[in-house]
Structure 1
């Protein structure tokens, strides 16, 4: 029970990597609050979490700064504390860079970068009191410059820069800030696999470990590590949980 009685917020926690991390943390004793706009999937995941810990789903618009403050206030009011913040939610469109409009760029930053920034600001005093943990999300799209991913890559690299600044500023407060850059077989990837099996297999063949990650067992367990005292002497780091696809130097 590495996270017994800890309280965690996970954005985009209704499905995919978000729900995988939520389940992994709940099984370690954390009280997990999943924030998502998908009511049906959120309630379904909430039910699964409650089999392991006192957890809940919150339907919240994380593109709205005032809404984010309300979410954080509600969580602290309900549980009395906040120990872990996981900024996982992000939406983007894949188009060539010359076709990336202001609207496409705004979608990525308004669902990924700005919510991460606002949640970190709102959660800071509570994380300072708890000597808590922040887990943000990077991507191979930004690290390797994937084609058709200009808006997503830009937002993810902005999140990495923000995380390193916070790691330096908040280290004296006992707050650890780290990032995960994942590859996982989410429902969305599963749909792509069914539609384009050859392209999917080609991608898997390029992964040194020759398999896609599992949202709970692979990504979730690393999130548990970063949320627990096991990672107390790590901050400002990007962990590549991608089967060896990108090996940082």
Structure 2
């Protein structure tokens, strides 16, 4: 009779980007609870220290370091730091991102390039640096897109374009590495109850109903409920799941 492991990430090294709050922090805690060695990366070192402290009593290990996901060299450095910390890399969670609402005709060149860098290019450069290590470990990538990667969202042209791009990146990598042990999957969450939601800056003249329709029926999800799906995809339980785009949205796009 086969017994299931109680700590599915024992002996595994995991890099989580955007780990200082919200979904990233929830992922760090879940991986650590599963016995994983987690490298938490973000710009906010003070909040990362708090996340690491909250995991002190868990069976896993948490270390943390700086990452500016909008800078390619910083993405590559974060991967190198994670490998240096634990000697290997088994899982990459590309969670870092930011959703700023802007009226399309008022978006500046700088804002457009920033939104694409933070929500798409960072995941590409981090994946590019991580793939050689993940191939060696027969590991996997979990990209965090959004329901905005599946449908359109008002006042979010750059964000929506970037998140659609992240879905496309997932599919492209899944096909490119089809004959290798590497798995690549994507989670598309709906509205979550995170600090970002409570600090939404709505542009003047925007239609609030268009923005909030995402949570019209069942309300916001908890970050931990989405982190559970991320950790499932990163685990051996999802060994047959490759190239998938997982909606986690309280059924928002079901109709």
Q: TM-score, normalised by structure 2?
A: 0.87
Shift of 1:191: 4.9
Structure 1's unaligned 5+ residue stretches are: 193-197
> Is 1:182 matched up with 2:189?
yes
**Which residue is equivalent to 1:130?**
137
Match of 2:129, SS state, is helix
Match of 1:173, SS state, is coil
Shift of 1:50: 3.0
2:148–2:164 Cα contact (<8 Å) kept? no
- Cα separation, 1, equivalents of 2:25 and 2:79: 19
RMSD: 2.0
Structure 2's unaligned 5+ residue stretches are: 1-6, 201-207
**Which residue is equivalent to 1:91?**
98
- Cα separation, 2, equivalents of 1:41 and 1:4: 25
For 1:41-52, what aligned pairs fall within 5 Å after superposition?
41-52=47-58
- Cα separation, 1, equivalents of 2:180 and 2:56: 32
Shift of 1:93: 2.6
1:24–1:221 Cα contact (<8 Å) kept? yes
- Cα separation, 2, equivalents of 1:105 and 1:92: 12
Q: Of 198, 215, 221, which residue of structure 1 is paired with 2:223?
A: 215
> Is 1:118 matched up with 2:125?
yes
- Cα separation, 1, equivalents of 2:196 and 2:168: 27
**Which residue is equivalent to 2:216?**
206
- Cα separation, 2, equivalents of 1:187 and 1:219: 15
Number of residue equivalences: 239
**Which residue is equivalent to 1:21?**
27
**Which residue is equivalent to 1:35?**
41
Change (3 A) 1:2 1:245: same
Shift of 1:220: 1.2
Which runs of 4 or more aligned residues in structure 1 lie more than 6 Å from their structure 2 counterparts after TM superposition? none
Q: TM-score, normalised by structure 1?
A: 0.89
Change (3 A) 1:172 1:2: same
Shift of 1:203: 4.5
Q: Of 10, 16, 31, which residue of structure 1 is paired with 2:16?
A: 10
